[in-house]
Amino acid sequence: MFRSFRFFCLVALAIVGSPAYPAEPSIPNFWDAKERLVKPDISDMQRVRFLTTVDFPPFNFLDSSGRLSGFHIDLARAICRELEMIAKCQIQALPWGELEGALQKKEGEAIIAGLSVTEASRAKYAFTRSYLQFPARFVTTKAKALAEPLSEKLRGEPVGVLLGSAHERMLREYFPDLKVVTFDKQEEMLGDLKTGKVVAAFGDGMRLGFWLAGSDSADCCRFSGGPYLAPEYLGSGLAIAVTPENAKLAAAFDYALHEINVKGIFAELYLRYFPVSFY
């Protein structure tokens, strides 16, 4: 009961005060503008090297000229500017399997590459607060767009979801009155959505947002309801990892992330890489 109450509270926080179909993109914000964080003194650090990868677009990738680019790259640079240490900041890309070893060997000071925040990883690293979470979303055709509460409007209707996914488990628990239709591949699910075989598709908001923005959707569809945050199914989102002895650095990153959000810099970066907001 507590978990269900918490889940729907999060949903309510996401949609209260917003129109059913907002004209402007919604920007995720996990920071209280009134909160005052102390800026740790890290002036004694000779270097802050962020470790990342090149195979997680749009977060980190090589652009057409072979230059390291992406949301994480621009975010790391914004953090360095906010901390007034751009001259000391470096960004290095490594294969995913080498990131943790490089951090332990002090070949870098932080990992910004989507390292999962779990009980096991918290035992090895200090993390910043989450700067981005991945909500679940419903997608419907534009002709059948729906506003909350979707649990009532979709009762008994066929809704697609990927078989065996966290989203399937979440859908079955929190929307038990739907007719769940499972698919092995997202393209099959979205194809059935376009032809009306299912009235909605449920899944990762980020991936669905890219589909909505791409040519495969043929401008057929839109997000309906949500966003839905459920950390017990979807995780706690993205955070920057440092070694435990560098906890002061994680606190400095938190200070910078807070300021970046308050100043609107995070919103600018978010819309640069996610033009169809998944919030």
What pLDDT, on a 0 to 100 scale, did the predictor assign at position 8? 40
What pLDDT, on a 0 to 100 scale, did the predictor assign at position 21? 44
pTM of the full predicted structure? Answer: 0.86
Q: Dump the DSSP string for 191-252.
A: HHHHHTSSSEEEEEHHHHHHHHHSGGGTT-EEEEEEEE--HHHH-S-B--EE-GGGHHHHHH
DSSP state of 101: H
Domain ranges of the chain: 2-26+134-234, 48-132+236-273
What pLDDT, on a 0 to 100 scale, did the predictor assign at position 32? 87
| Separation between Cα atoms, residue 239 and residue 132, nearest integer Å | 8
Residues in CB range of 2: below 8 A, 6 or more apart: none
Q: What angle do CA 177, 181, 183 make, to 5 degrees?
A: 150
| Separation between Cα atoms, residue 262 and residue 27, nearest integer Å | 12
Cis upstream peptide for 25 (omega within 30°): no
Tokens of 204: 């990762």
What pLDDT, on a 0 to 100 scale, did the predictor assign at position 117? 86
Tokens of 205: 């908001």
What pLDDT, on a 0 to 100 scale, did the predictor assign at position 10? 44
Residues in CB range of 231: below 8 A, 6 or more apart: 133, 237
pLDDT, block means (10 residues), the chain with 279 residues: 39 38 68 89 94 94 94 98 96 96 96 88 93 96 93 95 97 96 98 97 96 95 94 92 95 97 95 92
| Separation between Cα atoms, residue 212 and residue 49, nearest integer Å | 35
What pLDDT, on a 0 to 100 scale, did the predictor assign at position 272? 94
CATH hierarchy code of domain 2-26+134-234: 3.40.190.10
| Separation between Cα atoms, residue 43 and residue 40, nearest integer Å | 9
Tokens of 83: 């901390």
Decide if domain 48-132+236-273 falls under CATH 3.40.190.10. yes
What pLDDT, on a 0 to 100 scale, did the predictor assign at position 24? 54
Q: What's the Cα-to-Cα distance from 134 to each of 130, 230, 238, 263, 278, rounded to whole Å?
A: 11, 9, 9, 22, 8
- CB-count burial class (<10 Å; 0-12, 13-18, 19+) for 10: middle
Decide if 2-26+134-234 and 48-132+236-273 have a common fold.
yes
